[in-house]
Chains A and B, each alone.
Chain A
Amino acid sequence: GENVEQHPSTLSVQEGDSAVIKCTYSDSASNYFPWYKQELGKRPQLIIDIRSNVGEKKDQRIAVTLNKTAKHFSLHITETQPEDSAVYFCAASLYNDYKLSFGAGTTVTVRA
């Protein structure tokens, strides 16, 4: 089955700086890569996703890049704000097989 690895496990950044989280996946057939944000005690919230026919996608301060050859994808958060503090999970899914395989998560702390 699909194996997703996520790095780093924790990330502390100064407010206004950028944060980057990287994930690798094992199955080259995976074609859907969502990112979720989970605040303490709350549900995972979909923040951005990318499909394998696209190399990059941006939504305001967040962007995701995908390198299919290397089988890795990354989340970039620019101009970080305290409300960006949360656990972020990457995930991967096979085409026509919609179950998600998640990474272990990255705890992001934005220092004011």
Chain B
Amino acid sequence: DTGVSQDPRHKITKRGQNVTFRCDPISEHNRLYWYRQTLGQGPEFLTYFQNEAQLEKSRLLSDRFSAERPKGSFSTLEIQRTEQGDSAMYLCASSPGTGGYEQYFGPGTRLTVT
């Protein structure tokens, strides 16, 4: 499968714990995006990378959230001290970057905070 992949697909954690999600974009896509989707809503933008540079962060991304893309390939999203309000589907997408606007989504990581 040469599409965007995410790991894990599901994560259940207790409030206050830290969690980390991984996204592997489509090969040679230099833009990578993180979105969050709650039930019955469209995805909401969190942050995005051009290669290894994080270009923008949404106000939704509190200081408990951090994202990295160390070598311009895969990316990780970490949530520290999780809260019940963090429960959502975390989606990753990638796009070619220059000359290509199309964003292709991964299957998402469903986070449940108990």
Per the bound structure, the CA–CA distance linking A45 and B108 in Å amounts to: 12
User: B103: which of A34, A104, A105 is its contact (CB, 8 Å)?
Assistant: A34
For the complex, give the distance between the alpha carbons of A42 and B48 in Å: 22
B31, CB-defined interface residue at 8 Å: yes
A105, B42: Cβ atoms under 8 Å? yes
Interface segment, A13-21, A66-74, A75-83, A92-100?
A92-100
**A62 → chain B, closest Cβ, in Å?**
16
Question: Assuming A42-B107, A43-B106, A43-B107, is B101 touching A102 (CB within 8 A)?
Answer: no
Pick the residue among B4, B42, B95, B104 that contacts A104 (CB under 8 A). B42
Residues of B within 8 A of A101 (CB): 45
A to B contact number (C-beta, < 8 Å): 55
**How close is A8's CB to chain B, nearest CB, in angstroms?**
14
**A46 CB within 8 Å of chain B:** yes
Q: Which of A36, A42, A98 contacts B95 (CB 8 A)?
A: A98
B29 to chain A, nearest CB (A): 12
Instruction: Choose among B101, B104, B108 the residue that contacts A98 (Cβ–Cβ < 8 A).
Output: B101
A97 to B50, CA, bound (A): 11
13 contacts between A and B (CB under 8 A): A4-B42, A34-B103, A43-B4, A43-B105, A44-B91, A46-B103, A49-B101, A89-B42, A98-B95, A99-B48, A101-B45, A102-B42, A105-B40
B residues lining the A interface (CB < 8 Å): 4, 31, 33, 35, 40-45, 48, 56, 91, 95, 101-108
